[in-house]
Structures are given as structure tokens and as C-alpha cells.
Amino acid sequence: MQIRENFSLKAFNTFGIDVRAKYFSAFSSVDELEGILNSPFSHLHSQLILGGGSNLLFTKDFDGTVLKNEIKGIEITHQDNDFIYVKAGAGVNWHEFVLYCIRNGYAGVENLSLIPGNVGASPMQNIGAYGVEVKDVFHQLEAYHINEKTLRPFSLSECEFGYRESVFKRKYKNQFVITSVSFRLRNTPVFNTSYGAIQQKLEKMGVKELSIQVISQAVINIRSAKLPDWKELGNAGSFFKNPQIQNSQFQQLKEKFPGIIAFPAGEHHTKLAAGWLIEQCGWKGYRNGDAGCYSKQALVLVNYGTATGKEVFDLSEEIILSVKNKFGVTLEREVNIL
């Protein structure tokens, strides 16, 4: 077990925020994780489990131990006529996992291509894109309880998935380390191209026959054109969730703002496009020092180079306030603030 002190996290968060962890260590097996957590050293400090650092904003140095999850490995656990069950270590890169599935003809995750981060964090906020969420392909996961020192499985219902939510962000926050996730993938694909942009992109690509490969490529093309590459421009994807409001409130907003972009969210609620609300408040392309709002997508806050996490956070506060003042709607952050 190697423990580094006063360790720079700049290369370990996609915002590229230059903060330091008091201590930093990595583990590549449950035994190694147990070894670190059970050491007398560990009891003295708070811990942060780190995956790819693509859904975090560090606003200050981390005064504890950052534990980087590097548990690798992908295996098929069982299969039946319709499904194949694939288990991946929490430290496997998400997009590499998607590519592995596509290479092998396992369908279900193609719409989730190119999402940064690791497999272990995918159930944390039930990652989603282009009409698919992790819950749609989830089978079960294993997680290590930090205080009880036991490994336990979680089924689909036990994860209590919601829109960018799970039990690990609420009731069990900071209690478990997810060590592996099992997915239930299809031998015969059921294509989901209902998300407008995919259909258009496939047509543009001249695709005659659908396959998981071409859908993945369409998603990659759309994402590459729309989202900034975090290796060049620090960001954590969508900074805010799309707010959900009562249908009655939506009707009032629609009268005042006929161009408002929204989607039905069940019988009584409507989901608003947060990016549109932010754009209407004039933030798109805004820059103050090195903290800014991306010029092609207002939902993405960016670090042009040397912004501090506090500067990005303060900008997010200003955005929340202006959206509240103009629309009476409160934006909630999707990114974890530390």
C-alpha cells in the first residue's frame, strides 16, 4: 500500500482544478481496499472514493485520503437465450467497457458511448444519455461497506435509481465503495434511436442498416461535436440537472415563454431543458477570468485553464440565482461539489 502525501489532483479531475489531497492511495482489488481502510492510518482521515474525476468539482484542497479505484477486469458470469450477464470491475473505464460490449455484440449500452468516467461511478448517478440510463441495463453491483467492512450485493430495486440519482447519493452517501457492476445485455439488440439527434445523424452518415456499431458511432459523432473535450477544456459535462416541475407551473411558464423547451416527465410533471433556461438568461459563452459557460452548450461550465473550483462554483451560484429570478425555477447541480 503506497500512500502519497500532499498529492496534486489536477490530473485526476476533468475540470483540471489544481487542488491537493492530504493523502492519496490507489487500490486494484477488494483486498487492497480493505488493507487501506483497515490500517490505523485510515481511521484518522475522511475518505473520498475517486473514479475518473468527471463528475466532481473540487472547491478546496481535500483534507483527507483520496482513494482511487483501479479494480479492473471484465467477465461473463452467465447467459441465457436472450441475455448475457457481464461483470466489470469498478475501475474499468466506462467507454472502454462500452467498446468491449460493441465488439462482442452485447447490446444495450451503445447509446451511452463516450461518457467519461469509470464503471464504478455509473450507478452512482444512474448515468444516462440519448434515451438510455444505466438502470435499463443494470443487473446488480457489489459494494464494500466502509464501517461494517463487508461486501454486499445490491439489486436493481435496492439501488433506488432515479433521474441522475441512486441510493448511493442519498441514504448511503459516503458509506459504500462500489467494487464491481454487472450488466444484463441483449444478444439480439433492441435499437433505441428515438432521440431526435441520433436519427438525423444516422441519416447524415448514410446508414442503411442499423447495428449497435453504427448507433455507437452516431452517438460518438454527436457528442464530439456538441461537448468540449475535457482534455482540452476542463469541464464535467452537464453541470445542472434538467429541473422537473408541476404541469400547472409549466403551463404558466409556457404562456410567458412560448419557446420554452420541455419534455413530459410522467403524468403530473414536466422536465425543462436547463440549458435553454440558462441560455435565456444570457450565460451562454460567458467568461469571467478562466471560469465560463461553454459557447456551444450553456449547461456545461468550463475551466479555460487556471480557474479555481471556487470561481466555477460562484459562477454556478450566479446562474442558479438568475434562472430563479427569471423563471421561478430552482436549478440543482448534477456535479458533486467538494
Chain contacts with ligand FAD (rule: CB under 6 A):
14, 48-56, 69, 90, 115-118, 120-122, 124-125, 127-129, 176-178, 227, 230, 235-237, 336
Q: Please choose, from the candidates 314, 63, 98, the residue with its C-alpha nearest in 3D space to the C-alpha of residue 213.
A: 98
Q: Which of 122, 182, 238, 316 is catalytic?
A: 238
The answer to whether 98 and 112 are in contact (CB under 8 A) is yes
Q: Which of 70, 133, 311, 334 is catalytic?
A: 334
> How far apart are the C-alpha atoms of 93 and 118, rounded to whole Å?
4
Collect all residues with Cβ–Cβ distance below 8 Å to 209 and sequence separation of at least 6: none
CB of residue 76 to ligand FAD, shortest distance in Å: 21
Q: Is 238 a catalytic residue?
A: yes
- Count CB-CB contacts under 10 A for residue 311: 19
> How far apart are the C-alpha atoms of 150 and 84, rounded to whole Å?
28
CB of residue 8 to ligand FAD, shortest distance in Å: 16
In this structure, what C-alpha cell is assigned to residue 157? Answer: 430495486
Q: Cβ closer to ligand FAD: 184 or 333?
A: 333
CB of residue 164 to ligand FAD, shortest distance in Å: 6
The two beta strands, 291-293 and 287-288, are antiparallel
Q: How far apart are the first and last CA of the chain?
A: 25
CB of residue 54 to ligand FAD, shortest distance in Å: 3
> How far apart are the C-alpha atoms of 123 and 90, rounded to whole Å?
10
The 3-state DSSP class for residue 168 equals coil
Q: Which of 42, 54, 164, 333 is catalytic?
A: 164
> How far apart are the C-alpha atoms of 25 and 37, rounded to whole Å?
11
How many helices, marked H, and strands, marked E, lie in the chain? 7, 20
Q: Is 255 a catalytic residue?
A: no
Q: Cβ closer to ligand FAD: 135 or 310?
A: 135
Q: Is 334 a catalytic residue?
A: yes
> How far apart are the C-alpha atoms of 331 and 312, rounded to whole Å?
15
CB of residue 227 to ligand FAD, shortest distance in Å: 5
Q: Cβ closer to ligand FAD: 236 or 323?
A: 236
CB of residue 167 to ligand FAD, shortest distance in Å: 12
Q: Cβ closer to ligand FAD: 234 or 286?
A: 234
State which amino acid sits at residue 73.
G
CB of residue 67 to ligand FAD, shortest distance in Å: 9
Q: Please choose, from the candidates 286, 277, 279, 284, the residue with its C-alpha nearest in 3D space to the C-alpha of residue 332.
A: 277
Q: Cβ closer to ligand FAD: 121 or 262?
A: 121
Q: Cβ closer to ligand FAD: 309 or 327?
A: 309
> How far apart are the C-alpha atoms of 63 and 39, rounded to whole Å?
18
Give me the sign of the Cα torsion angle 234, 3, 168, 158.
Answer: positive
Q: Cβ closer to ligand FAD: 128 or 243?
A: 128
By annotation, the residues acting in catalysis are 164, 238, 334
